[in-house]
A and B are shown apart, each in its own frame.
Chain A
Amino acid sequence: MTLDINSRHLRDLENEAIYVMREVAAQFENPVILFSGGKDSIVLVHLAKKAFWPMKIPFRLLHVDTGHNFEETLVFRDNLVKELGVELIVASVQESIDNGRVTEEKGYNASRNKAQSISLLDKLEQLKIDVAIGGGRRDEEKARAKERFFSHRDEFGQWDPKNQRPELWNIFNGRKHPGEHFRVFPISNWTELDVWQYILTDKVELPSLYYTHRRKIFKRDGVFLAWAPFMMLKPGEEVIETDVRCRTIGDITCTGVTLSKADNLEDIIAEIAATRVTERGGRYDDKRSEAAMEERKREGYF
């Protein structure tokens, strides 16, 4: 696939996303961008810069911090916040555990992924945030394929997928009652390949984790996971050190890594165009049940 045929397609997607960003700024009072340090949220910030230039972006960044981060992501995040001159809000899962809002999962597959929803919803309520812009894409996962651009959340932060508001043309209805909020997904229609091609054509800077690097990893249920000292190995699992890169970045406990020597965007795009496994195929959090994502989304996950 050449870049040429897609560049207009990328501009079309960009025009749509910028339009959505501006609708958010116009329709809501207290918006945030959910920023994970992953490529999709980095692209969101880039689009926001383009949508409001030469103004500072009219959104604060909200990072849901599981405490299990890749160090590179935090450094990248702090530099970006400094460059944008906007406020960073951190919703800490550790804090939610300490104050008893969340009970830490136990066992081999213990993850703080699910706990993030509670920390996020508590923070949204505490700061009266009425809209959270997310980097979710419909091509990622089957429950996400059902999501509207403007997705309503009730006063408990829940999504009701069986009763979504109709969404006609590009007329977005962001009206809500006090205590309710919206999740908005400007890059709904982008595919993984679109995101990477856009990063290339727009020269978007990414954390080094996305490029090949040496890392200690181990294999679990067919997925390579990054190893960290707090992770429990099962009998027979073995830590090896090799050349990998991340295809997505989330909490370290559930982010699969890809064996790869790709050290530039062109090679990464070639790898992704040829791959036969979806991006979230490497996400441990989706493997828990057939409706894992839908269930988490109903509870307020992003």
Chain B
Amino acid sequence: MKENLSLLRFTTAGSVDDGKSTLIGRLLYDSKSIFEDQLDHITESSRRRGKEEVDLSLLTDGLKAEREQGITIDVAYRYFATPRRKFIIADTPGHIQYTRNMVTGASTADMALILVDARNGVVEQTIRHTYIAHLLDIRYIVFCINKMDLTDYSNEVFSKLRADLKALAVKLEVPHPYFLPISAKLGDNVVDRSENMPWYEGPTLLELLETVEINGNGQAVPARFPVQYVIRPLSADYPDYRSYAGRVAGGSFRRGEKVVALPAGLGSTIKSIDTFNESHDTVAPGESVAIVLDDDIDISRGDMIVPADAVPELKSDIVARICWFSEKPMVLNGKYLLRHTGSEVRCVIREVIFRLNVNTVERDTVNKEVKMNDIARISIRTAKPLFTDPYIVNHTTGSFILIDEGTNNTVAAGMII
């Protein structure tokens, strides 16, 4: 799925007023992906707000409250295409109070653009967002040093910032960092090459987006098939048909392969891999199919079909990194619902191993109260064992969310270590 992407999903992050929405507006505008009526609309809105130039950020700030305050509250998704690729952009908020929305946008991204104001350098939000991108295992991070027009397009300013950011990237073990000097407002090095920065010889942002090859981390991923739904037509044409519907989460399966159904642990063989009116020999990661087995075994939602020779870990004690979203702090020894693939189990928070000090990227083992927007490493005990892989090996079987049973709200994102 990840090889030769014709679709690239990326997210933008950075501190408030670093110009994220403006950058996206610029990208859409200069790649001619803005429609006339949209442009008329924001031109008119800019004028009504007393601005002389067209405010491109109005394109993505879609909520009334956002336009009133001039900030981004929640993720906005935008779409554009060039002849080389299709892009899905998640434009995420910079305010710390909306971190959960930033995490929402970043969780499905292949690449993160992190904006840095050339005048301010590395600030807390730069570190926080880089850390979150790293936490979510986004392996391609582009640091866009923005507002170069306000620093006289200075090579020295850029070089110093690049050195600072490189140090951060090394510390966080970002495998593929990129550094670009841009002006989102004026368009330098976004789509068109800047004439103001002849000293910069790298690609423009769009060139980079169009050409970067997104590959996995090089590790072979064992095949996983979390069962979402059991298909049983019980119809005259298909009286005995029974298949297990799901989406392949890493690896691949083939007809005739020996598999095991978990948690029952019973073995069988793949008889058929079905989609609408078709049967396939193999299925690749990311594909939604329905699997028919040779034997009639009891399988339901939340169970998992895996290769007989590569079974995931079965665990009730889970150590994970989490990002906490709720206004209510995490309750130590408190009970939550844990949703992992198709299964939902009760769990208890057993221990906070450490809380991360985002400013210094250091572990805090003294103050371990986990509050909204905190990142921590915790250990959890689940009521029933789960089949897991480490998050860095498999994003689907390695991730979970925690739900507050009283409010039904999603209160944390978890990445299994």
Contacts and interface: CB of A to CB of B under 8 A. Distances in A.
A175 B408 contact: yes
B189 interface: no
Interface in B69-101: 73-79, 81, 83-84, 86, 88, 100-101
Nearest to B285: A15
A278 B247 contact: no
Q: Which of A22, A52, A141 counts the most B-chain CB atoms under 10 A from its CB?
A: A22
B399 A53 contact: no
B62 A145 contact: yes
A165 interface: yes
B309 interface: no
Interface size grouping (class) on chain A? 35 or more
A189 interface: yes
A51 B408 contact: no
Given A22-B229, A52-B231, 10 more contacts: A1-B81, A1-B83, A51-B288, A53-B290, A54-B237, A56-B235, A146-B63, A162-B65, A171-B399, A290-B41
Given A22-B288, A23-B228, A294-B62, A138 B6 contact: no
A139 B237 CA distance: 40
5 contacts: A53-B231, A53-B275, A55-B231, A166-B401, A170-B396
A173 B79 CA distance: 25
Contacts, number: 173
Contacts of B64: 290-291, 294
Contacts of B241: 54
Nearest to B41: A290
Contact of B228 (A19, A50, A165): A19
A139 B301 contact: no
Interface of A: 1, 5-6, 8-9, 11-12, 14-16, 18-19, 22-23, 25-26, 49-56, 138-139, 141-146, 148, 161-162, 164-171, 173, 175-177, 188-189, 191, 193, 275-278, 281, 290-291, 294
B7 interface: yes
B278 to A, nearest CB: 9
A277 B75 contact: no
B413 A168 contact: yes
B74 A164 contact: yes
B275 A189 contact: no
A144 B38 CA distance: 14
B238 A146 contact: no
A54 B238 contact: yes
Q: How large is the interface on B (under 10, 10 to 19, 20 to 34, 35 or more residues)?
A: 35 or more
A142 B76 contact: yes
A277 B247 contact: no
Interface of B: 1, 6-7, 35-38, 41, 45, 59-65, 67, 73-79, 81, 83-84, 86, 88, 100-101, 103-104, 107-108, 228-229, 231-233, 235, 237-238, 241, 245-247, 274-277, 286-288, 290, 301, 325, 337, 339-342, 395-396, 399-401, 403, 408-410, 413
B48 to A, nearest CB: 9
B62 A166 contact: no
B274 A188 contact: no
A189 to B, nearest CB: 6
Contacts of A55: 231-233, 235, 238
Contacts of B399: 168-169, 171
Contacts of A50: 275-276
A26 B233 CA distance: 15
B339 A169 contact: no
A145 B76 contact: yes
A161 B35 contact: no
A176 B287 CA distance: 29
B408 A142 contact: no
B401 A173 contact: yes
B401 A171 contact: yes
A168 B35 contact: no
Given A145-B60, A145-B62, A165 B409 contact: yes
Contact of A18 (B36, B84, B288): B288
Nearest to B63: A161
A276 B79 contact: no
B78 A145 contact: yes
A50 B84 CA distance: 29
Kindly list the 3 A-B residue pairs having the minimum CB-CB distance in the complex, ordered from nearest: A142-B62, A281-B37, A18-B288
A174 to B, nearest CB: 9
A25 B77 CA distance: 26
B100 A49 contact: no
A18 B289 CA distance: 9
B233 A54 contact: yes
